[in-house]
Structure 1
Amino acid sequence: MEFGEEGLLQEPVSPGGQFINSSVLSLAILAILESQVPIDDSQTFFLLKNVFLPINPRFSSIMVEGADKKNKQWKKVTVKVEDHVHVPIFSSGMSPASYDIYFDEYITKIASETFPQSRPLWELHLFKYPTSHAAGQMIFKIHHALGDGYSLMGALLSCLQNAHNPSIPLTFPTLKSAKNETSSRSRAFEFMPKILSSVFNGAWDFSWSILKGTWVEDDRTPIRSGVEGVEFRPVSVSTLMLPIEEIKLIKNKLGVTINDVITGTIFMGIRMYIQEMNSEKSSSQNCTALVLLNTRLVAGYKSVQEMLIETNKSWGNRFVFLQVSVPKSSEVSKPLDFVWEAHNIIKRQRKSSAWYFTTRLWDILKKFRGAEAASKYIYNTLKNTSITITNMIGPLEQMSLVNHPIEGIYFIVTGSPQCLSVTAMSYMGKLRIALVAEKDFIDTNVLQACMKDAFRLICEAVNEFPIK
């Protein structure tokens, strides 16, 4: 991928990039890095110019109309780095608890702001005050049109080093597939039923996704107000930590995946919160979660160079939504049932062909009605459901950014027309769950407590099971 003269790149904006940067829908990813030491910003401009910008031409480009007026292209511009760096100023000498409040207010403010389309779609915010979590915090805000979480995390990680030994690369947890011990003859007999099941489930799931993208809405609950324009309302961001080793223990005992354990915990926490806030109707209210699925056929992060080469093309927005019904407490009462329900539903959805047909539908809408129509369809799917859940894998070792050891890292997604979204990221043996909730509608303190209680109850219940 090369630049020509300053002007158009030799690359159009992907359909996904156009869908999530339109007049209808605009999504952004915020990656928050918590520094173990006070932030020294003396090298910021140099690093952005010489390390960050060269990672991908899109970081030095804006989105413009193509010659055909239907498709957009990336246009290279001169980047004024100082326009992209923000350092808020507050009173000095206050307590970490006081700066916690300022940080919460600041992240709420920048999460609600939209990017100016006249300059490249990224920003860096340096919060240089000690909070209860860190000595300083670096916030990378990047528009989702530049790439999905996989792409952007790969880019961010390429700027980081192993904190204890920079010469040793960062490593990540391996994703091991379950062994298939079924004989070839048995697999042959199972092949046709699986194909038929995939077709049937795909048709059903695809039909349901169309309904969700048009007029069928979730019930109004304590996590879904159902009002218009919720994406423009202030949000509250809070996080909680879960130990990866305990999650793995649950996974091994139940024979499920780590994602199943995480999703089951979130589902149970949501139901407990709804019960706490609205006990009369909570057991039967319909809630749908959009669980993001990475469609790349890769097991871990690729380097930026690998993502950009012609034969791979794994950079970009390569995800689909799996529509998963949050189990009702009237039907699921035991803690482990939430994990098994998550496991069964997500397993079936992954094998369904619905996600393929959904992406084809987006392409058809774009072709015949334009990118705005496809964007509107995705917007309605988000608006008519209750929650989005997504997660990423982080490094096992502590990482460092220019001699700033990173104490913690998490990410959030903003701009969605939902009252609640949940993201999760592993780092140094712990899982950081971030809750992005509509301010003054969802009580994040109660919701956070419900999530912790759900995990505790699942841990207690799983102790009755032998390790598989």
Structure 2
Amino acid sequence: MENFNFREGLEPVSPYGHYFNSSELCVSIICVFESEIPINLAHAMSWLQNVFLPIHPRFSSIMVTNEKGEKKWKMVEVELEDHVNVSIIPTGLSPTAYDEHLDDCISNIGMEKFPQNKPMWEVHVFNHPTSNAAATLIIKVHHSIGDGYSVMSAFLSCVQRADNPSLPLTLPSRRSTEAQSGNKSAWARVPQLFSTVFNTASDFGWSFLKSTLVEDDLTPIRSGDEGAGYLPLTLSSMTFSIDRMKYIKAKLGVTVNDIIVGIIFYGTRLCMQEISHKSSNADSTALVLLNTRKVRNYKPIKEMSADSEAPWGNRIAFLHVPIPKFSDPKFSNPLEYVLEAQKIIKKRRTSLGVYLTDKLLDIVKKLRGPEAAARYVHGTLRNSSMTISNMIGPVEQVTVANHPLKGLYFMTPGLAQNVTITIVSYMGNLRVTAGIEKGLLDPKKFKSCVENAFQMMLKAADRDEVPTKKIFNLKATL
């Protein structure tokens, strides 16, 4: 831990650490690991004590307030047994029955708030066979400790390859085929400069309105209730082959990240139309989470100091991306959803709108306090319809405490929305998980619509129904 120069009272809580642990928001990250074998509790406890805890001081720290009202991280002694829970459920049930128990378990875990007098993480052992695994290990981490990039970096630091532990993990390529502009003359850059200025003003203004005054329409995916994000969830999980997505990628010249966002958008509209025909043309917005670090590849934990290019903590921004409507004739081809998602996210990324929003939050925090800034973030979430976050995971199978993992996924409860979508790659597949408020809509219907959207895009690509518009490229950054 000495690498972090972490001394009591000297490590301030980051702005988003304040916002995610406030009276307005209580956001966590739930990581679900599906094991091929039953979990050996002794091995798991040893792994937590000797591998997990030493990864970063945040896992041994609590949030305290000093005499100036500033929140700081304070290191404490960790009683491991206080953080580990073993689910007690009748034995001998069917995998389908255990699926329901696991769903309820994760929902209950998501709704429970962390006590403030001990480090804000916990482990739940579900040692029962489900449809997907012999046993399930659930790790819940408060979002104030770190964002998805930080948590995934921690995960990669404490797992090993199942085939050969001595070999390093491989991550999917993040290459981009964007044209480089480094050789352009000063005059050639003028239009780009004006475009950036215009996009920045437009994006910042629209983001401000969406966070304060303009709400999405009420639809099957948005109830508008004040309790959104804090009610029981049901999870709907689906798996897509990255190789099959690369087929579409080759046809369109886009990234896998563009494709999966387009699939989610198209599938969501299909689901909305099945429930309410008029809602398929309602104003609905997705918040796409953006990693704002200077580098996007994962770094070793020891290199994630506060002054590095990839610091530990919460370095994120929300991109407002309208979900295309069925009423627009240009979206009659499902592949247009991919291109539209790519175009809008690229436009948002290349503007400075997210950085101006970050500065606005800093001003609000300084003038009116962190709770006021948290209310602004809460408004950003509440006024939109869903959140999409994406993480890149290992190519090879990995082991956790000598337990081979068949699959993994994550969820972020507490985001003040009725629907939250998470995406993670692992072993050549993308695992898409929808956290849907219980009673809002049928999770099986949503899953079916998203899977149908993927098949419709594959068929359109097979028929060479590729739009002829100019294609931009979006780096996989989420």
Question: Are the structure 2 counterparts of residues 4 and 391 from structure 1 closer, same or farther at C-alpha, using a change threshold of 3 Å?
Answer: closer
Q: Distance in 1 between matches of 2:196 and 2:287?
A: 20
Alignment match, 2:302? 305
Deviation at 1:276, TM superposition (A): 0.4
Structure 2 SS opposite 1:42: helix
Q: Distance in 2 between matches of 1:152 and 1:177?
A: 24
Letter aligned with residue 197 of structure 1: S
Question: Are the structure 2 counterparts of residues 16 and 458 from structure 1 closer, same or farther at C-alpha, using a change threshold of 3 Å?
Answer: same
Question: Are the structure 2 counterparts of residues 182 and 231 from structure 1 closer, same or farther at C-alpha, using a change threshold of 3 Å?
Answer: closer
Letter aligned with residue 305 of structure 2: L
1:374-415: CA deviations, max 9, x gaps? 100000110000000010101000000122100001111100
Q: Within 5 A, what are the aligned runs for 1:4-19?
A: 8-19=8-19
Alignment match, 1:347? 346
Contact 1:307 1:313 in 2 (8 A): yes
Q: Distance in 1 between matches of 2:437 and 2:458?
A: 29
Contact 2:295 2:309 in 1 (8 A): no
Alignment match, 1:67? 67
Deviation at 1:177, TM superposition (A): 1.9
Deviation at 1:461, TM superposition (A): 0.3
Question: Are the structure 2 counterparts of residues 385 and 91 from structure 1 closer, same or farther at C-alpha, using a change threshold of 3 Å?
Answer: same
Question: Are the structure 2 counterparts of residues 215 and 5 from structure 1 closer, same or farther at C-alpha, using a change threshold of 3 Å?
Answer: closer
Alignment match, 1:322? 319
Structure 1 SS opposite 2:42: coil
Alignment match, 1:217? 215
Q: Distance in 2 between matches of 1:43 and 1:225?
A: 44
Q: Distance in 1 between matches of 2:238 and 2:268?
A: 14
Q: Distance in 2 between matches of 1:428 and 1:93?
A: 31
Q: Distance in 1 between matches of 2:126 and 2:410?
A: 16
1:159-200: CA deviations, max 9, x gaps? 100001000011101211215267935x54431111111111
1:129-188: CA deviations, max 9, x gaps? 000100000011000000000001111221100001000011101211215267935x54
Structure 2 SS opposite 1:89: coil
Q: Distance in 1 between matches of 2:9 and 2:406?
A: 38
Moved more, 303-312 or 245-254: 303-312
Question: Are the structure 2 counterparts of residues 255 and 76 from structure 1 closer, same or farther at C-alpha, using a change threshold of 3 Å?
Answer: same
1:197 paired to 2:195: yes
Q: Distance in 1 between matches of 2:266 and 2:214?
A: 24
Contact 1:423 1:435 in 2 (8 A): yes
1:33 paired to 2:30: no
Deviation at 1:114, TM superposition (A): 1.1
What's the RMSD between the two structures over aligned residues?
Answer: 2.0
Deviation at 1:101, TM superposition (A): 1.4
Alignment match, 1:48? 48
Deviation at 1:337, TM superposition (A): 1.0
Q: Distance in 1 between matches of 2:393 and 2:213?
A: 38
Letter aligned with residue 316 of structure 2: F
Equivalent in 237, 247, 256 of residue 249 of structure 1:
247
Q: Distance in 2 between matches of 1:278 and 1:401?
A: 44
Q: Distance in 2 between matches of 1:46 and 1:400?
A: 14
Q: Distance in 2 between matches of 1:22 and 1:387?
A: 21
Deviation at 1:3, TM superposition (A): 10
1:273 paired to 2:271: yes
Alignment match, 1:284? 281
Letter aligned with residue 431 of structure 1: L
Question: Are the structure 2 counterparts of residues 266 and 3 from structure 1 closer, same or farther at C-alpha, using a change threshold of 3 Å?
Answer: closer
Question: Are the structure 2 counterparts of residues 204 and 243 from structure 1 closer, same or farther at C-alpha, using a change threshold of 3 Å?
Answer: same
The sequence identity of aligned pairs, in percent, is 48
Alignment match, 2:224? 226
Moved more, 285-294 or 90-99: 90-99
Moved more, 36-45 or 121-130: 36-45
Q: Distance in 2 between matches of 1:427 and 1:51?
A: 22
Q: Distance in 1 between matches of 2:4 and 2:97?
A: 50
1:84-135: CA deviations, max 9, x gaps? 0010111112221121111111111111111111110000011000001000
Contact 2:295 2:310 in 1 (8 A): no
Alignment match, 1:102? 101
1:150 paired to 2:149: yes
Alignment match, 1:140? 139
| Structure 1 length-normalised TM | 0.96
Moved more, 262-271 or 193-202: 193-202
Deviation at 1:416, TM superposition (A): 1.1
Structure 1 SS opposite 2:151: helix
Q: Distance in 1 between matches of 2:98 and 2:397?
A: 25
Deviation at 1:2, TM superposition (A): 4.6
Moved more, 2-11 or 154-163: 2-11
1:214-270: CA deviations, max 9, x gaps? 121000000000111122211111100000011112112101121110110000001
Q: Distance in 1 between matches of 2:379 and 2:178?
A: 39
Question: Are the structure 2 counterparts of residues 432 and 367 from structure 1 closer, same or farther at C-alpha, using a change threshold of 3 Å?
Answer: same
1:20-59: CA deviations, max 9, x gaps? 1111111000110000111111123332222111111111
| Structure 2 length-normalised TM | 0.94
